[in-house]
Amino acid sequence: MNKKIFFLAVLVIALGVDSCGPKKRPDEESKPLRVVNVPPFNADSAYFFVEKQVTFGPRVPNTKSHRQASGYFVNQFKRFGAVVVEQNFDAITWDNQKLQLKNIIASYNPQAQKRILLAAHWDTRPYADKDTEKRDAPFDGANDGASGVGVLLEVARAMGKSKLPDVGVDLILFDGEDWGEKDNERGKTNLPDDQSWWCLGSQYWAKHKHVKNYSAYYGILLDMVGAKHAQFFREGQSLEYAPSVVEKVWNTAHRLGYTDYFVKTNVGGITDDHEFVNTLAKIPMIDIVHYQTGIGFFGDYHHSRKDNLSIISKETLAAVGNTLLNVVYYEE
């Protein structure tokens, strides 16, 4: 080898120069995740909130159980330091019944410009029309309704005991989500201005927001998030309207070790409260909703008497709740 070439080669090695190409500039290196104090999510507490709702009985609109539950939610949110708005309204159902409904909004950092919206529905379907034996029977709705509300109540409790995040957070409990048509039956009255007999509360809120000109950076909806061994696939409307939020939430869950729950598989879309927050309120919102392989969305206990406390898992509640708190507290 030429002595000059040999000298240059040794110099390159000594200086640590990458002969295959230039090194990345410091601003091109991947930034380490900043350290944020995220309050702990107490799964025992979340389970208690689910159990408490079940003890009221099915939270069917126009019933005593429904009224008792709404009062409990309002009092709990106030105890946890939130600014609470009760949005009362009437709605006509597909079977021509008039319902007295209430959306409940709990806000933290109400002065903050940048806001995150977290939501679930709190009502129970009035009949177990997917039950194999008693299709008109009432049911507990431990997962369908109570699990999402239980997670949000625990999120509120955690935030109320800790330093609040750097963004504003609004938790909305939508009413009247689950009084849609029975299978193979059509509406007995003409559909009003609302776009669906389902999701009455989110449709009303999207047209009559609790704060004039309210908007949020994005939203996350919880629906049936408490079942044992539940899995959450990436739902179609969520991917259509808020793909970056889907990535944020699923990546956060994976960072926390919840890969068995938050599955990075894309599936079709469904009608749920997030549809009307996306299309009417113009706020990008995703849906964390149970998907069961071989069955589809919701699982085999959906709208049946099997939807009771026996299917609720503290581990599943923890996976969802910890993911939510980390998403919110790491938001800048």
Is 20 a residue whose pLDDT tops 60? Answer: no
209: domain CATH number is 3.40.630.10
Looking at the domain assignment, is residue 23 inside a domain?
no
How far is it, in rounded angstroms, from Cα 156 to Cα 169? 10
The pLDDT assigned to 18 comes to 40
Looking at the domain assignment, is residue 61 inside a domain?
yes
pLDDT tens column, 52-96:
999 999 999 999 999 999 999 999 999 999 999 999 999 999 999
pLDDT tens column, 102-149:
999 999 999 999 999 999 999 999 999 988 889 889 999 999 999 999
Residue with tokens 């409790």: 157
Looking at the domain assignment, is residue 324 inside a domain?
yes
First CA to last CA across the chain, in angstroms?
57
Measured between alpha carbons, how far is residue 34 from residues 24, 164, 320 in Å?
A: 21, 17, 21
Q: Is the Cβ–Cβ distance between 101 and 200 less than 8 Å?
A: yes
Range of the domain at 230: 39-329
Is 8 a residue whose pLDDT tops 80? Answer: no
pLDDT tens column, 301-318:
888 999 999 999 999 999
Query: Interior CA angle at 268 toward 216 and 266, to 5°?
Result: 80
Looking at the domain assignment, is residue 144 inside a domain?
yes
The pLDDT assigned to 186 comes to 73
Q: Is the Cβ–Cβ distance between 151 and 312 less than 8 Å?
A: no
Looking at the domain assignment, is residue 120 inside a domain?
yes
Q: Residue 183: pLDDT band by 50, 70, 90 thresholds?
A: confident
Please give the tally of structural domains in the chain: 1
Closest CA to 221 of 159, 294, 270: 270
Looking at the domain assignment, is residue 28 inside a domain?
no
The pLDDT assigned to 22 comes to 37
Q: Mean pLDDT, the chain, as a whole number?
A: 90
pTM of the model: 0.89
Looking at the domain assignment, is residue 18 inside a domain?
no
How far is it, in rounded angstroms, from Cα 219 to Cα 283? 7
How far is it, in rounded angstroms, from Cα 177 to Cα 145? 9
Looking at the domain assignment, is residue 21 inside a domain?
no
